[in-house]
Structure 1
Amino acid sequence: MFICKPKTPKILIVDDQQKNIQVLGSLLKDQNYIIGVATDGQKAVDTLKKTKDFDLILLDVNMPVMDGFEACLEIRKIEHLKKIPVIFLTAMTEENQIIKGFEVGGQDYVTKPFNARELLQRVKTHLELKQSQDQLKNVNTWLEDEIKSRTLEVKDANQKLQQANKELETLDIAKNEFLTIISHEINTPLNGIMGFINVLKDKLKSSELIEFVNLLDVSANRLLSFSKLSLRITELRTSNQFLKGVNIPLKEILGILKIKVDKMLRAKNQQLFINENQPDTYIHGDPQLILYCLDNILENAIKHSHENTNITINIENTEDKIICSIIDEGDGFSDYALANLYKLFASGKEHVDNNKGLGLALVKLIIDVHNADITVINNKTKGATVKLTFQNKKQTITS
């Protein structure tokens, strides 16, 4: 597998005060980070030119020889360091100094004396964002390498040219869809991150600062989770092997979802009802993908339903089918949306959702690899129903 287990992050502390280095080093080592040290900006630049091991820089502003602003400018001139996260450590709170830090290439700042929990949260946020970006880069590289490999196979096996060309075409289409999905889902949280950073610049002394930082963390985690999910879907689309699923207890999945959306429901004073005609219903498939499908549909049903309404999940277990219906009491889909439900970024054009149809497009991909069906209709009175129909294989469930 081309995505390896993430390595332990390595952080460079740049500060001319030994006491600060000791405090920061102890704090970061307690979080199992690997630490490097430089006592002025020039030494930091010299160290970073010699290695590509570091994942983040904690950079003091006021230092002899070369201050933090000058050092950051020099660091950004080094090709492999153009995107490394830089967090300034500063005792200065003047707005023009803070803005200068962002202008020279810093991603964030922490004022001295710093709060340990705040510092660790900012470090964690920027490390996770960097990790997700690195993994996405690896995904793209892997896809390009895979295409080259397939092309060589075609050249070396003329007797299988037709089949090889078909596989290559499938892979190329899947790659384009995958990159389109990834591009959209990267831009959405990253735009949020940049927006929050701009707010932070204007409200540096606001008590809401930690809340904005938490939102940055949510966006970065969303980015990482979505990249893994999209990769799984791409593997399924490009693989010649049949999906190797397991028997998934639907009651368990719905229990997880009920807990997950509880906050959303309470925020709009909505009620979720789950009706199942049999206590033990199992779906055969990939648990992570099935959970994503139901979560996506349920969250959108909640989002697009009015306050003080009900969301209903009906489970029907027949001889040959398992049908899961999510019913809301919202405004439903427009005619345009219903005609373009599974096209990437199309179905949201005239629908209340600004998601541009990406969610249902992904749900459709997942349902297809499970040899299942999805049906979306507007209810006669109000709201919409999304119905997922799976084959009832009635396999023996083992503990």
Structure 2
Amino acid sequence: MSKSDLMDDRSLNGNILIVDDKADNLRLLSRMLGQRGYEVRSAISGSAALMAVRALPPDLILLDINMPAMNGYQVCEELKACEQTGAIPVIFLSALSDTADKVKAFRVGGADYITKPFQVEEVLARVENQLTLRQMQLKLQQSNQTLMQEVQQRKQAQDILQDSEAALRQRTQELEVALEELRLTQMQLVQSEKMSSLGQLVAGVAHEINNPINFIHGNLRPARDYAEHLLMLIHAYQKSAPTPPELQAQMDSIDLEFVKQDLPQLLESMQVGIDRIMGIVRSLRTFSRLDEADIKTVDLHDGLDSTLMILSNRIKQDNHQDGSSDGVEIVKRYGDLPRVECYPGQLNQVFMNILTNALDAIEDGNSQCLAQGRSPIPGQVTISTWMTEAQTVHIGILDNGPGMPDSVQQRLFDPFFTTKPIGRGTGLGMSISYRIITERHRGTLTCTSTLGQGTEFVITIPLQQSRSQPQPRQREEAGLSPEPC
């Protein structure tokens, strides 16, 4: 019996190879998938997995990363380097949860990534998704082969040949769109998980701080009143009765006159500090907006200010004796904007991505200046907002960083494209920001940059949003990158 006959006789639900050096994991996954009707094989090492794949290529591979001798990344790279096995989808199963580990898994050719400990339903759903896509690919390959044969047979009939070529292009384009949608969905899953964790952390911190701060704030006013009453009582006593020598000595030791002057100022300083903390808590809650997943009518300036509050540790300035300062100056040129219909949590995510990139660019530019023996340029980010007669809101974010070359601008909104070193960026932020603005808000996100003169991002969104979900732009439907900035 030939290898193709063996492949045809496999389970209709798909043949799955599980690779893990832990026997317990193999047993659990084999039992779970076997109960769903999948044909399951297992391998306890990377070398054993490669032998099993060459003997009988599976429809899908579940691959652990941390294995002795040969880790999952190496196994996946070797599979993708081989023409016979390069198209087999690989789902990584690993306890590694850092974004850098997930990005590396996708870069070596992984189709999906599941973090241990995993949920049974999640594993089954992702397995079914990859097998369905694999079946579509095989059917499309078979259809393409059939179509090419028809083209060869009918090459004398020019009209039929043209129709066949058009059909081939259409089917290929459909597959490219399907693959691109899957890739973008995976990209959004990684970034959404990161931003959701940040939002939950910010909301949790704000909630935990809010209760004791409200308690202190509520009791500070009575404490000031009580202090004033006690000082009034001491003053009245001093006027109406002689002071015994022992009491006078005690008053001198504690410097009563100074306490009477300083205590109200001390309580006033405490009030200013509490008001400042309450403002920070409000900014944290505005930024997280976990309860505003739907369209809301909000003040965009509140979202910008809350994002700046989150980044305050990076823009705070320290003045030196020589007149220089560290940090970045924020210049706000806010226009008179009405409240805008939007997805506030997602819009705050866009503000965070753009402002973070601006601060990174300024820091990198100053590092280059120091490396070349030149004095760093004081960093500045200018945020402008304005309205147009077309009922469109504009938000401009301009930095005085080193700017970008045209080659970087052309790929700025491509998924996984980044100029930052590993660990500092994943190449997801600007791509997701573009989709949030163009698809979710029916607006535009453009970039203008000149080397040595800085970079400006301009966001435009209509004042009112449609309640129906907008369709992706035609260039993205064709699997192409967005228009370059």
Q: With the length of structure 1 as denominator, give the TM-score of the two structures.
A: 0.45
| Structure with bigger gyration radius | 2
TM-score calculated relative to the size of structure 2: 0.37
